[in-house]
Amino acid sequence: MTEHIELTHRQQRAFQPNKLSAPRSFCIPPIIQQTANPAPLLLEIGAGKGKHALSFAAEHPDQHLIAIERTRNKFDAFAKLAERQALPNLDAIHADAIAWIVHAIEPNSIAKIFILYPNPEQHNPNQQWLNMPFFEFLLSRLQVGGEIILATNIESYMDNAEQQATKVWCLPNERYKVPQDSQRTHFEVKYLARGEICWELCMRKPAGYNTRFDQWQANLSTHKS
C-alpha cells in the first residue's frame, strides 16, 4: 500500500513550499514550540467569525486549536470574541492559511484538521482543497492516525472530495450527513435551517503514508514569538 501511495502522489504536480513567503506580521504561537507534554494540536482552516473554534475550544480544554481566517472583517469579529472568552487553548490567526501552515507547522504534528464549509470554487475547481497540490503538504503535517474533517452543503463538491480522497490521496474515509441539529458554524446553521443536506467527510492518515514533504520544514528559528 505504501508504494501505491507514493506513486499516486508523484503523478500530481508538486507543491513548492519554498516559493511562499511568511505572512505579514508572522509569529508562531508558543504551543507549537512547547516540547514538554504538549496538548494535542488541531487546526481549523477558514474559521470565519469563530463560532466553531470558540465552542470547540471551550468544550475540549485538553486540546489546543489554532484557527486561521484570512478575511479581515470575519477575523476581527472572531478576534473580539476570542479576546473576551480568553480561552488558553485557542489561537486565532489572521493569515492566508497556506502560507501560514508552510512556515509555522512542523511535519507530523497535527492531530486533526477542520475545513468546514470552504468556498466551493465552483468556477475554479482547481482551487478546491483536495484538488490542490498543497493538499499533499497538508497531509505531511498530519500525524499518523490524524483526521481531516471536511464539511459542505454542496453535494458535487463532496462527491469530488470523496473521489479525490479515495483515488488520488489514498486516504481511508467515511462520508456522513450532518445531523439536522448541528450548529458548528454560521453557514451550517443557515443551510440546515433552509432544509438543505450538509455533508461531512472524515479522512484518516494511515500508517506507512508517505509524502514528498515529510522531511521538509521551514526555518522556524527566525520566527519565534
User: Percent of the chain scored above 70 by pLDDT?
Assistant: 91
Which residue shows C-alpha cell 470523496?
A: 162
- Could you tell me the pTM of the whole model? 0.93
Q: Quote the CA–CA distance of 7 and 132 in Å, as a whole number.
A: 17
pLDDT of 130-179, one tens digit each?
999 999 999 999 999 999 999 999 999 999 999 999 999 999 999 999 99
Residue-range domains of the chain with CATH: 2-9+42-87+96-209 (3.40.50.150)
pLDDT of 53-98, one tens digit each?
999 999 999 999 999 999 999 999 999 999 999 999 999 999 999 9
Which of 2-6, 163-167, 206-210 bottoms out in mean pLDDT, i.e. has the lowest? 2-6
